[in-house]
Structure 1
């Protein structure tokens, strides 16, 4: 025996709880149990339905906005398709050298510098 007077080393309260639970377990028989029933279909809450409707509405709005923006980019203001720009060469054009040099323009003569005052 231990200091509490029990054999298992548990406190008296724990011993009484174990005994009460064991007695309750032995008191329940097959007649006390409810009969088996097949599981019911899950009940969908209103919250789930509302969420699905909101998600569907947002998806439709996004698709409509995408279609609208695509049409706005493809057509011009008068309703006709925008013309495609002309094709460009993948290589940049280089200037061809001219056979005669261009005449040089005379530049004005530089002015004479004026002496600066000494700084104190």
Structure 2
């Protein structure tokens, strides 16, 4: 769930008149794939000057879930994440390792999905 993108959508809807501005404070309820998100926009002179969000609840679904030789904590924050300590894959977080880190992430995502850690990881 991207808070930044949600703020942009609310701003565009209000400033383009696709959703009505209701005075200096406008509340919008957004139905997202992650669940309902409440947006509160501060408006002035037909412009959106700020947006705050009440996101879906975040939670830990499973700790120390082991698949193969790695362990991950499975968490939800709008989408599911498998959080893996980088020391388990033998790489440092550094620009020169970016491709290997990304490839490892994709590989581990598939492993954890196949193992049924969550509906999506």
With the length of structure 2 as denominator, give the TM-score of the two structures: 0.18
- Higher strand proportion, which one? 2
| Higher RCO structure, 1 or 2 (CA under 8 Å, sep 6+) | 2
With the length of structure 1 as denominator, give the TM-score of the two structures: 0.18
- Higher helix proportion, which one? 1
